[in-house]
Amino acid sequence: MAEFNAQKVTKIVKGAAADPDASFSVEGTDGGTFAIASTKKDLKQLMKSDADVVYDERKGKLFLNDNGTAKGWGAKKVGGLVAKFKGKPELSADNFDGVTPHDGDGVTGDTDIEDQITSLGEELGDEKMS
């Protein structure tokens, strides 16, 4: 298991991150939350959120938000970029020890909306879905 911290940016090769069972940890995130940014606007909003770990899926970059809801990622060597994932793999809170999905708002990339859509689709049935 790779451990990341703000002291040094870790580069993760494509094969290591592509494993669906890959597990990582981020120093200082016990009990923290994980959010996914899919646009630059999402990333900027999440930078000011209470999400502790933010993954920019467009660029494969993982950030530690040590600044809470204040602007920026926090003091240098405490927050900011902690890892770069080659190949921009799909990551979720499940890939990280000690974090849970961030449930702040719609920009978090939280998979709960997918579950809700699937559930509603099952309730409506195939006829009404088309």
> What is the pLDDT, as a whole number, of residue 53?
93
The number of folded domains in the chain is 1
What gap in Å lies between CA 87 and CA 44, rounded to an integer? 22
Domain that residue 45 falls in: 2-129
Q: Which of 57, 56, 64 is closest to 25 using CA atoms? A: 64
Global pTM reads 0.73
> What is the pLDDT, as a whole number, of residue 106?
41
Q: pLDDT 10s digit of each residue in the chain, 130 long? A: 678 877 888 888 876 666 777 888 888 777 789 999 999 999 999 998 989 999 999 999 999 988 877 888 877 777 889 999 998 998 999 988 888 998 864 443 444 556 667 767 777 777 766 5
